[in-house]
Amino acid sequence: MLDDFIKVSSGKKPADLLLKGGRMVNVLSGEIIKTDVAVYKGKICGFGKYKSKESIDIKNRYILPGYIDGHIHIESSLLTVSEFANAVVPLGTTSVVAEPHEIVNVLGLAGIKYMLESAKYQPLEVYFMMPSCVPATNLETSGAVITAGDILPYLSEKWVVGLGEMMNFTGVINGNKEVLDKIKMVSTKKIDGHAPGLSGKALSAYISAGISSDHESTTYEEAAEKLRKGMHIMIREGTATKNLDAIVDLVTPANSSNFSFVSDDRSPEDLINQGHINYIVKRAVKSGLDPVIAIKLATLNTARYFNLKGKGAIAPGYDADLQVLKSFRSPAPVMVFKKGKIVAENGKLKKRRVKPKDIYIRGSVNVKWLVEDDFKIKARGSKVKTIKLVPSQIITEYKKYKTPVSGGMLVSDTSRDMLKICVVERHRASGDIGIGMLKGMGLKSGAIATSVAHDSHNIVSTGVNDKDIMAAVIEVVKMGGGLAVVKDEKVMESLDLPIAGLMSELPIEQVKEKLIKLKKAAKDLGAIPDDPFFTLSFLCLPVIPQLKITNKGLVDVDKFKIVGLFN
């Protein structure tokens, strides 16, 4: 094989494939070169004139490496791995680095095994980072607890490239033994960061532990400090959180090697209507970033950060994971190649892939019998701590408002856009329900609920009255996980998510249509956010400032503790 490859590269033996008459984007040299590209046994063997068994006329279009998403939670797309692959490969994404802590928070090691098995035989190469924080904190109840010993055997796996986002930055800085044990067991592989708003000496301490990237910067200044201190900056442009506009001007030719593009999460609707990494590249170019540098952030930089040998560039010995574009303004590739084989053309897979076999997965919704009184709480103060939404961000504001009261009980007040929000524990049937107040959702009637509630994925619901909140939660329980919109205790729309309460078994087109109906139904009730369910899902994440809610109650993220609801 090696002898043959050398012979092909030197022109003594014909290549398998020659892509003729294209303009090759060379992210290694920063050039666009008019040349042919030769492929042998799935790898690039050279540029220029080669004899070949097959040739394709590229017709002066651009040839560039396949995109690599360096940080994605596939579960957050609500799709199976195979259906996610079906969606993103035609968009030019040929590899992703997935962090499966969503499903692992629900199913534990069984979730890791499910994702690894599901990733086999796909047109998309899926690499994994092992979850570092399951649960993310002790301020919530998850379906599993993953220790350093649980993770260790997986770090030797070929498809495992490191330790996933270290959300417990407080544990790192304070020297928590379990957290440090996980860090210590990683040797040559990467440790991803997750440090929103961290700065100064605390940031230095966090980085000194060996954590080398961050995807949580929301401002230019925050990203600049992390860059100066040696972090690889992952510029995130997802469905829930969009940081490209705030950070992209920080990228220069001199420092561009220290950046990459990631999506973190991407909804089916956005995947279909906008795209994946190709959409981020297009947006970056439109904002003024040099196209070759933008492509480098989506290919070579990600591959080099994760030590993905043979990925991210077009050069001899690299994998022939390629795409062909008409222009940099065109969001979708004309052709996508995986290991030198055409896998997609004009936005469509050559052959739609399905999961290789049925993979057993247990049910994941275990809730104690619910009654309306479970959702009631006495008003015990003149002011109530309230989660205030920040548009297009997963950070929230910590506010205090006059307590809305009726009959001595805390209630929603639609005139002030103050809604009750409840988190129902769904893993152990403990009966725990966290109750709080939310401002910015906008509902005027009814309620919405979802079992997608980062990171422990209990059931979260918000609404204008207890009856509708309970009805929405019960519908999610009946489905074994999912999303629901309720009005007057009647289910208006729903989507069942039978895989860990996180993922659908439906094709992406059907999931998209159901989500459109769900969002419309929520909008008809008065919902303000573009995607009320994505917004709701992040309100349970107690590692993102400032005020969040879990099944154990309100969380002051800055103080990293449960706080009382009333003053």
Q: What is the CATH number of the domain that holds 108?
A: 3.20.20.140
Confidence of residue 353 (pLDDT cuts 50, 70, 90): low
Q: Check whether 311 has a pLDDT greater than 70.
A: yes
Please give the pLDDT value at position 330. Answer: 74
Please give the pLDDT value at position 358. Answer: 67
- 78 and 211 in a single domain? The answer is yes
> Would you tell me how many other CB atoms lie within 10 Å of the CB of residue 200?
8
Q: Check whether 351 has a pLDDT greater than 80.
A: no
Please give the pLDDT value at position 232. Answer: 98
Range name among 14-23, 144-153, 241-250, 326-335 with the lowest pLDDT average: 326-335
Residue 29 in tokens: 């040299």
Q: How far apart are CA 241 and CA 232, in angstroms?
A: 19
- The three-point CA angle 407-413-418 to 5° equals 130
Identify the domain boundary among 289, 324, 359: 324
Please give the pLDDT value at position 136. Answer: 80
Residue-averaged pLDDT of the chain: 94
Please give the pLDDT value at position 487. Answer: 98
pLDDT, one tens digit per residue, over 127-141 is 999 999 898 888 999
Q: Check whether 354 has a pLDDT greater than 90.
A: no
How many domains does the chain divide into?
2
- 99 and 199 in a single domain? The answer is yes
Eight-state DSSP code of residue 210: T
Alpha carbon distances (Å) from 244 to 28, 241, 261? 23, 9, 9
Please give the pLDDT value at position 187. Answer: 77
Quickly tell me which residue has 């260790």 as its tokens: 152
- The three-point CA angle 17-21-22 to 5° equals 90
Sequence-separated (6 or more) residues with CB below 8 Å from residue 341: 42
In a domain, residue 358? The reply is no
Q: How far apart are CA 459 and CA 109, in angstroms?
A: 21
Considering Cα of 55, then 58, then 64, then 66, what sign does the dihedral take?
Answer: negative
Please give the pLDDT value at position 355. Answer: 55
Q: How far apart are CA 297 and CA 285, in angstroms?
A: 11
Please give the pLDDT value at position 175. Answer: 93
In a domain, residue 26? The reply is no
- 540 and 436 in a single domain? The answer is yes
Residue 301 in tokens: 């930089």
pLDDT, one tens digit per residue, over 143-195 is 999 999 999 999 998 999 999 999 888 889 999 998 999 999 997 899 999 99
Beta strands 93-98 and 125-130 are parallel
Quickly tell me which residue has 């003053």 as its tokens: 567
Q: Check whether 319 has a pLDDT greater than 80.
A: yes
Considering Cα of 475, then 479, then 484, then 490, what sign does the dihedral take?
Answer: negative
Average pLDDT over every residue of 529-540? 92
Average pLDDT over every residue of 431-445? 98
Q: Check whether 352 has a pLDDT greater than 70.
A: no
Beta strands 482-487 and 348-349 are unpaired
In a domain, residue 537? The reply is yes
Alpha carbon distances (Å) from 499 to 362, 481, 506? 8, 8, 11
- 315 and 380 in a single domain? The answer is no
Please give the pLDDT value at position 455. Answer: 87
Side chain identity, residue 429 = A
Instruction: Give the sheet arrangement for strand 490-496, strand by strand.
Output: 396-402, 383-389, 433-439, 418-424, 459-463, 447-450, 482-487, 490-496
Return the half-sphere exposure (C-beta side, CA atoms, 13 A cut-off) of residue 548. 30
> Would you tell me how many other CB atoms lie within 10 Å of the CB of residue 354?
13
In a domain, residue 486? The reply is yes
In a domain, residue 339? The reply is no
- 381 and 473 in a single domain? The answer is yes
- 278 and 404 in a single domain? The answer is no
- 397 and 543 in a single domain? The answer is yes
- 320 and 400 in a single domain? The answer is no
**SS3 for 510?**
helix
Please give the pLDDT value at position 375. Answer: 97
In a domain, residue 524? The reply is yes
Confidence of residue 392 (pLDDT cuts 50, 70, 90): confident
One-letter-per-residue 3-state SS of 345-392: ECCEECCCCCCCCCCCCCCCCCCCCCCHHHHCCECCCCEEEEEEECCC
**Closest to 166 measured CA to CA, from 148, 154, 140:** 148
Considering Cα of 485, then 491, then 496, then 501, what sign does the dihedral take?
Answer: positive
Sequence-separated (6 or more) residues with CB below 8 Å from residue 478: none
Q: Where are the beta strands (DSSP E) in 73-212?
A: 93-98, 125-130, 160-166, 190-193
Q: How far apart are CA 99 and CA 109, in angstroms?
A: 13
In a domain, residue 8? The reply is no
Domain span at residue 116? 66-324
- 305 and 384 in a single domain? The answer is no
- 301 and 408 in a single domain? The answer is no
Range name among 313-322, 514-523, 557-566 with the lowest pLDDT average: 557-566
- 539 and 409 in a single domain? The answer is yes
Confidence of residue 567 (pLDDT cuts 50, 70, 90): confident
Helices of type H across 119-168 = 148-151
Average pLDDT over every residue of 481-506? 97
Q: Check whether 462 has a pLDDT greater than 90.
A: yes
Q: Check whether 69 has a pLDDT greater than 90.
A: yes
- 259 and 129 in a single domain? The answer is yes
In a domain, residue 316? The reply is yes
Buried b (16+ CB within 10 A) or exposed e, 339-352: bbeebbeeeebeee
